[in-house]
């Protein structure tokens, strides 16, 4: 029974893709993004010696205030959706969609587990290449996976820029302009800093990068490409427009490109920001932290300690989730530790420091790869 369902999914990739999307987006990304909105306020409260949101409850169930995210969601949905008189109505409606859709779509390229071996779920699988049929735990497997990600990440710029322009408000226009120049500046560094990892693992396909890293922790991107890790993480945080790179919002002076948005439309921008942090964590996990790999765990188990295929896959999916949770938490700490940059510092960091360093990283990596392939 189970086998025939799995077989059906292995053959019908589009159906499987939809199921995996529902599982990934509704089962992992959206809950985590909603929880992040609460975790962020709680974390900042802890760091500033406050209590933070801790009161939302259903009867006696309080759970340290976790339920605040439910309350927030309900509140946002039933708030009045004010559309100011002079806005460009079409672009005003399009902007939130442009902010959230690309980042949801790019989750398709993230591998959240190894290939599931159909028919051998409960037995020990020593060589996954011998499986008759497999279901990749990745929505869309494309050779150009990372390129697809960069292409869609550039589309997200439109969300903020259009929101700023369509709002017919000086402050949101300034916020939108700042956002577009900041995101464009750092996108160059993002692309160039990952080039080293592509050289080392010889692929643009995320699952191939994860497979190439293997279960040996010293072969993971963070050890083979330490400079790229720092460069990419910095540039990608700038891309999420959160502190210390929150100039487009600049709460005391601008409020942000979404100043005219209210109710759930504002909620979409808010949620998109948290989904972006999760996505950034997913990409860093994939390229630098071995993706779904567990140190020492091969497809048959830990060394000579064999485990059934299903247990191995579950362990690897859990490892993937934990890595993402850790990176999300790390971003919260960074966001509440560092003060905001000035615009000139922002531009200097992007163009005069990160960009030359990522070019240097490419040349050094290429030279090392060349030397290693000959030096046998």
| Residues 139-158, interacting with another protein (CB under 8 A) | 139-143, 146-148, 154
Q: Are 146 and 75 in contact (CB under 8 A)?
A: no
Please tell me whether residue 91 binds another protein under the rule CB under 8 A.
Answer: no
18 near another protein, rule: CB under 8 A: yes
Q: List binders of another protein among 215-274 (CB under 8 A).
A: 259-260, 263-265, 267-268
For residue 157, give the 3-state DSSP assignment: helix
**Interface positions, 272-331, toward another protein (CB under 8 A):** none
What is the maximum alpha-carbon separation in the chain? Answer: 70
* Exposure class string for 332-342: b at 16+ Cβ within 10 A, else e: beebbeeeebe
Give the integer Cα–Cα distance in Å for 13 and 139: 9
Element (H, E) at 127: none
Nearer CB in complex with another protein: 337/345: 345
Q: How far is the CB of 290 from another protein (least distance, A)?
A: 17
Nearer residue to another protein within complex by CB, 71 or 359 = 359
CB of 152 to another protein, least distance (A): 9
Q: Which is nearer to another protein, 88 or 325 (CB)?
A: 88
Cα 262 from chain centroid? 25
Question: Is 71 a binder of another protein (CB under 8 A)?
Answer: no
Residue 245 CB, nearest distance to another protein (Å)? 14
Residue 147 makes CB contacts below 8 A (sequence gap 6+) with 204
Identify the CA nearest to 109 among candidates 169, 153, 71: 153
Distance separating alpha carbons of residues 291 and 114, to the nearest angstrom: 10
Whichever of 318 and 367 has its CB closer to another protein, that residue is: 367
Nearer to another protein, 208 or 325 (CB): 208
> Is 238 in contact with 371 (CB distance < 8 Å)?
no
Using CB under 8 A, which of the segments 63-71, 115-123, 197-205, 294-302 binds another protein?
197-205
Task: Please list every residue from 95 through 114 that binds another protein, using CB under 8 A.
Answer: 96-97, 100-102, 104-105, 107-108
Q: How far apart are CA 49 and CA 128, in angstroms?
A: 51
Q: Rule CB under 8 A: is residue 347 a binding residue for another protein?
A: yes
Window of 12-20, 37-45, 220-228, 303-311 that interacts with another protein by CB under 8 A: 12-20
Smallest distance from the beta carbon of 106 to another protein, in angstroms?
Answer: 8
Q: How far is the CB of 55 from another protein (least distance, A)?
A: 24
To 10 degrees, the CA torsion angle through 282, 286, 289, 293? 110
> Cα dihedral sign for 152, 156, 159, 161?
negative
49: its two tokens: 């010696």
**Does the footprint of another protein cover residue 181 (CB under 8 A)?**
yes
Task: Select from 32, 33, 39, 204 the one that contacts another protein (CB under 8 A).
Answer: 204
Count Cα neighbours of 64 within 13 Å in the Cβ-side half-sphere. 9
Binding residues for another protein restricted to 23-52, rule: CB under 8 A? 25
Q: How many residues bind another protein (CB under 8 A)?
A: 86
How near is the Cβ of 281 to another protein at its closest, in Å? 19
Q: Which is nearer to another protein, 120 or 182 (CB)?
A: 182
For residues 361 and 349, give the distance between their C-alpha atoms in angstroms, rounded to a whole number: 16
């Amino acid at each position: 029974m189970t086998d025939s369902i799995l077989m059906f999914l292995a053959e019908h990739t589009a159906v499987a893709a939809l199921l995996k999307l529902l599982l990934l987006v509704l089962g992992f990304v959206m809950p985590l993004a909603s929880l992040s909105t609460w975790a962020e306020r709680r974390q900042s409260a802890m760091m500033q010696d406050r209590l933070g949101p801790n009161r939302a409850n259903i009867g006696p169930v309080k759970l340290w205030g976790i339920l605040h995210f439910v309350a927030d969601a309900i509140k946002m949905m039933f708030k009045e959706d004010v559309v100011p008189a002079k806005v460009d109505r079409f672009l005003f409606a399009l902007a939130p969609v442009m902010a959230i859709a690309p980042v949801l779509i790019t989750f398709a390229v993230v591998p959240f587990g190894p290939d599931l071996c159909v028919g051998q779920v409960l037995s020990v699988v020593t060589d996954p290449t011998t499986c008759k049929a497999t279901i990749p735990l990745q929505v869309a497997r494309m050779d150009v996976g990372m390129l697809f990600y960069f292409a869609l990440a550039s589309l997200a710029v439109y969300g903020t820029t259009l929101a700023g322009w369509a709002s017919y408000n000086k402050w949101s226009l300034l916020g939108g302009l700042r956002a577009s120049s900041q995101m464009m500046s750092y996108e160059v560094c993002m692309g160039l800093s990952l080039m080293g990892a592509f050289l080392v693992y010889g692929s643009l396909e995320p699952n191939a990068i994860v497979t190439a890293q293997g279960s040996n922790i010293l072969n993971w991107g963070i050890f083979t490409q330490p400079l790229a890790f720092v460069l990419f993480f910095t540039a990608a945080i700038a891309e999420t427009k959160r502190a210390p790179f929150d100039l487009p919002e600049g709460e005391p002076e601008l409020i942000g490109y979404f100043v005219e948005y209210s109710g759930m439309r504002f909620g979409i921008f808010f949620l998109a920001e948290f989904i972006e942090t999760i996505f950034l964590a997913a990409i860093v996990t994939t390229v630098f932290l071995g993706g779904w790999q567990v140190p020492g765990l091969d497809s048959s188990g830990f060394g000579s300690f064999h485990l059934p295929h299903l247990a191995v896959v579950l362990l690897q999916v859990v490892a993937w989730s934990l890595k993402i949770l850790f990176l999300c938490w790390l971003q919260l700490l960074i966001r509440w530790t560092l003060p905001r940059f000035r615009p000139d510092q922002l531009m200097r960091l992007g163009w005069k420091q990160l960009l030359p360093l990522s070019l240097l990283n490419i040349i050094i990596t290429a030279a090392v790869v060349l030397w290693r392939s000959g030096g046998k």
